[in-house]
Amino acid sequence: MKIVYTVQELRQQLSSYRKTEKTIGFVPTMGSLHEGHLSLFETAGKENELVVASIFVNPAQFGPGEDLEKYPRDLDNDKMKCRNCGVDILFLPDNHEIYPEGFVATVVTKLFNMVQPDRAYFGEKDAQQLAIIRRMTADLNMPVDIISCPTIREENGLAKSSRNAFLSQEQRTRAGILYHGLKTAEKMIRDGEKSPEKIKDMFRRMMEHSSDITVEYIEIVEADSFRRLQSINGKVLIGIAVKLGTVRLIDNIRVSASEVY
**φ, ψ dihedrals at 174, nearest 5°:** -70, -25
Q: Which residue, among 97, 90, 116, 101, has the nearest Cα to 31 in the 3D structure?
A: 90
**What angle (nearest 5°) sits at the alpha carbon of residue 78, between those of residues 47 and 155?**
75
Q: Measure the CA–CA gap between 116 and 120, rounded to whole angstroms.
A: 10
Q: Which residue, among 90, 86, 142, 141, has the nearest Cα to 113 in the 3D structure?
A: 142
Q: How do 236-244 and 247-255 pair as beta strands?
A: antiparallel
Q: Which residue, among 57, 42, 58, 52, has the nearest Cα to 10 in the 3D structure?
A: 52
Q: Which residue, among 80, 113, 89, 111, has the nearest Cα to 98 in the 3D structure?
A: 111
Within 10 angstroms of residue 49's Cβ, the number of other Cβ atoms is 14
Q: Which of 37, 96, 180, 209 is catalytic?
A: 37
Known active-site residue 37: yes
Helix axes 127-139, 107-115, angle to 10 degrees: 60
**What angle (nearest 5°) sits at the alpha carbon of residue 133, between those of residues 129 and 137?**
175
DSSP state of 124: T
Q: Measure the CA–CA gap between 37 and 180, rounded to whole angstroms.
A: 23
Please give the positions annotated as active site: 37
